[in-house]
Amino acid sequence: MSDDRPRILVIGGKPAHVRKARELGLEVVHAQYPEAYDREHRAHVDQALLLDYGDIGRLLPQVRALHELRPFRAAVSLFELGLLPAARVNEALGLGGESVDTVELLLDKARMRRHLNAKGVSPVASAVGKSARDIREFTEAHGLPVIVKPVRESGSLGVFRISDEAEVEAVADRFRALNDERWAAGDLAFADSFESFLIEEYLDGPEISVETLSFDGRHVVVAVTDKETQGGSGFVELGHSQPSAHSADELREATGLVTDVLDAVGLRNGPAHTEVKLTSRGPRIVESHNRVGGDRINELAEIAYGVDMERYALATSVGIAEPLTTSPEPRGGAAVRFLEPEPGQVVEVAGVDAVRADPAFVDLQLKARPGMVIPPLTWNEEKSGHVIARGATATEAIANAKRLAAAIRIRTEPVS
């Protein structure tokens, strides 16, 4: 390969991210945790920086030295924990990209709530607390139910709903107990994530997410994703589908709100994934991120709309892609369904070959293996796998995904 390839720094993320960067003809320098870097990454990387890339004091001097030898065109991350390091590198090297302030605003849910409330955009009552007393004071002012969640985390980690005053003490204890868990590198965005929590009024109604690409401040809606979450007090998402089944009026109001929010936080370029509740008072923002949605939402957009948002994010960062001018029209339906085996030790996994042979099948990822212990499902990283299916419509794709997920039989036994 010649040395005139645009040079990009990809921070964190999956092997697919560096593969797509290489397929775009880019010279790829990849910053990654040492324990997360493997042969799948290596095949698509010109140079690797293996370190804790969240430590900007270590990352920036190495990146600056490489930049002086051969300049980078951009630093990019498609992974939650790499967003802020990428913004700081871009700022330090004068490479453009989203401002550190915008990225920090989106990462800090309490700060974003205050910012939007001050602008009168998607008003939601909220406060930061550390104790059961703080929760009680909030409920006295705003009523029940309420949501308690980390100020700066993702993946449905540590999210609790309180519907009765009797639950307050238990939820505060459960949240504090998260400090005592043993977390792997890359699990948490910040070491102090469970020192305090965000308390919010509960937003009723179904949840969607709006997937956008922005081009110099012009926001293009690529897709709207419908979501199915756990019942009761759980918030882990069990399935996603595109296109949305909600009415045109509901979607117009929701997507209009999302573009107002992206303007309010100063997002100018690249992808965003914004979660919205369609409440009885109109749409309200749950949270937003300047990245592509997780849980295989990008793959759904590729199937349903023909748009690979990850590829766009990489290509536009170095100026080699034509901006989208309008929202794409749907080509069909796509759905992902996450597997829900009973907690316990896996003794058998069956049905894989039949699922892969099904005409509606698109993809299967399966973590469960015989001997593995499956815990109760409390956040995204505990999911045992998923199936992606297609259909002529979203309704058909959802039915296909549920049917294929049910055909994967993961038999478990209680752990003594």
Confidence of residue 378 (pLDDT cuts 50, 70, 90): confident
Please tell me the predicted confidence (pLDDT) of residue 154.
57
Count of CB atoms situated within 10 Å of the CB of 403: 15
Please compute the mean of the pLDDT values over residues 308-312 and round it to a whole number: 97
How far apart CA 405 and CA 335 sit, in angstroms, is 11
Please compute the mean of the pLDDT values over residues 389-394 and round it to a whole number: 98
Assign residue 261 a region: left if phi > 0, alpha if psi is -120 to 50, beta otherwise? alpha
How far apart CA 236 and CA 174 sit, in angstroms, is 17
Residues 236 and 384: beta-carbon distance below 8 Å = no
The 10s digit of each residue's pLDDT in 248-264 is: 999 999 999 999 999 99
The 10s digit of each residue's pLDDT in 281-295 is: 999 999 999 999 999
Instruction: Look up the pTM and report it.
Output: 0.93
Residue 341 in tokens: 């085996």
**83-105 per-residue burial string, b: 16 or more CB within 10 A, e: under 16:** bbbbbbbbbbbebebbbeebbbb
Please tell me the predicted confidence (pLDDT) of residue 109.
93
Assign residue 119 a region: left if phi > 0, alpha if psi is -120 to 50, beta otherwise? alpha
The 10s digit of each residue's pLDDT in 53-65 is: 999 999 999 999 9
The 10s digit of each residue's pLDDT in 219-240 is: 999 999 999 986 555 577 889 9
Supply the mean pLDDT for the chain. 93
* 347, amino acid identity: V
What angle in degrees, to the nearest 10, is found between the helix axes of 309-317 and 15-23?
60
Assign residue 120 a region: left if phi > 0, alpha if psi is -120 to 50, beta otherwise? left
Count of CB atoms situated within 10 Å of the CB of 110: 18
How far apart CA 98 and CA 83 sit, in angstroms, is 9
Residues 18 and 32: beta-carbon distance below 8 Å = no
What angle in degrees, to the nearest 10, is found between the helix axes of 309-317 and 297-305?
100
Domains of the chain, first to last: 7-97 (3.40.50.20), 125-201 (3.30.1490.20), 203-331 (3.30.470.20), 333-415 (3.30.470.20)
Higher pLDDT residue, 218 or 185? 218
What angle in degrees, to the nearest 10, is found between the helix axes of 132-142 and 168-177?
130
Please tell me the predicted confidence (pLDDT) of residue 183.
59
Please tell me the predicted confidence (pLDDT) of residue 187.
58
